[in-house]
Structure 1
């Protein structure tokens, strides 16, 4: 299966895989309370968009199945090893979140964590999520978003836009993802906004929530 929407970069891809592998514990400590809330009661089979190196495997039960949508081949080796250690069956799909090739109404939960910031078209990703979810299915997410307009943090996000995007596979710190999820046609959307305290300042404004089909 060939993904025409993602083009692997020979430097950025391996750099991101190594970075998120090394920093995974720190990011989990920052986000753990929010992830525990929205990732509660996950079923035996979960689709994850941008599964990366397996940061969210710790929230799945041993013996469950992760359908991992991850187009960056540099992530795949670490993701496979992490899944084996966690006792989670891995169904790896090297495709983009905009076009997963999964059947209509085929899954109960789609999960994303710090992914919608870097996809080419978050609206299309959410249309794809709604397509693959069964009626009553959930999209559970933890994402970083734009700071309020006119604030020093928003100005910082704008100043670092280009180098940040280059380093993190096109990641944007200036997306209003709460509105994107709210406008995606889900029957119900529950979103919490919060702010982290971390050295990664442009990343510190966050949302976590559940959107129900």
Structure 2
């Protein structure tokens, strides 16, 4: 009965979003979404998420200096940098390399760079999380990925790349929305919204159990906490937050 309800409600959503499905079929939606729609949504709607997430991020990144490398510098790689919302949490003098699959966030990114001149920006790489070949192995002290593992093609491959570029003893920091408890109404609505949400938000998946991927990756230490970010009327309230040490 529940599965039938999910299918019926998915069909209703698909009807409401029919223009987007049609544009997607014609090959028009994806470039429009990546260049215009998603950067705008990330900037406007993302503000609300960042406000609710700020206390959690302040706590998460408070121990970043502990992973400063042998050279006395903290070299950090951020995957899926987007608009650079995390820059404010990085310690003074941190050397930051930014990566993203798109350059369409450039205006917002430059704005946040200007606001956070306590950091040294090493460069911007166009790259997916699954393919960081431009970054040498064992070359960074920390990797950060927030709200990025929901949309990569392969979580496992991305984590393999994270492990490769991290020096021994380096850390991967994460903050991701995840699947809700399968017995909950939140999970039911995640199932309903999944296909349309993924289309509208450039591949963002609502039901990934990312903590399981982290547990199966070859980190020597994993600190993960399940939390709920109060975002009413959205299916992305369940989150995980933490860090993993190579």
Specify if TM > 0.5: yes
Unpaired runs of at least 5, structure 1: 1-7
CA RMSD of aligned residues (A): 1.6
Aligned pairs for 1:79-118 (under 5 A) are 79-87=109-117, 88-90=119-121, 91-101=123-133, 102-118=135-151
Could you say which residue in structure 1 is the equivalent of 2:31? 10
Q: CA deviation at 1:166?
A: 1.2
Greater helix percent: which structure?
2
TM-score of the superposition, structure 1-length normalised? 0.91
**Distance across 1 between alignment mates of 2:51 and 2:99:** 24
Could you say which residue in structure 2 is the equivalent of 1:122? 155
Q: Contact 2:49–2:231 (CA<8 Å) still a contact in 1?
A: no
Unpaired runs of at least 5, structure 2: 1-28, 66-73
Q: CA deviation at 1:147?
A: 0.5
Q: Secondary structure at the match of 2:105?
A: helix
Q: Contact 1:46–1:108 (CA<8 Å) still a contact in 2?
A: yes
Question: Residues 163 and 169 (structure 1 numbering): CA distance in 2 closer, same or farther, change over 3 Å?
Answer: same
Equivalent of 1:153, from 179, 186, 194? Answer: 186
Q: CA deviation at 1:189?
A: 0.5
TM-score of the superposition, structure 2-length normalised? 0.79
Could you say which residue in structure 2 is the equivalent of 1:27? 49
Could you say which residue in structure 1 is the equivalent of 2:64? 42
How many equivalent residue pairs? 206
Q: Structure 1: which 4+ aligned runs deviate by more than 4 Å?
A: none
Could you say which residue in structure 1 is the equivalent of 2:6? none
**Distance across 1 between alignment mates of 2:98 and 2:52:** 23
Deviations 1:139-186, CA, capped at 9 Å, x for gaps = 011001001112211110011011111121101110000011111110
Q: Secondary structure at the match of 1:69?
A: strand
Choose 1 or 2 for highest CA Rg.
Answer: 2
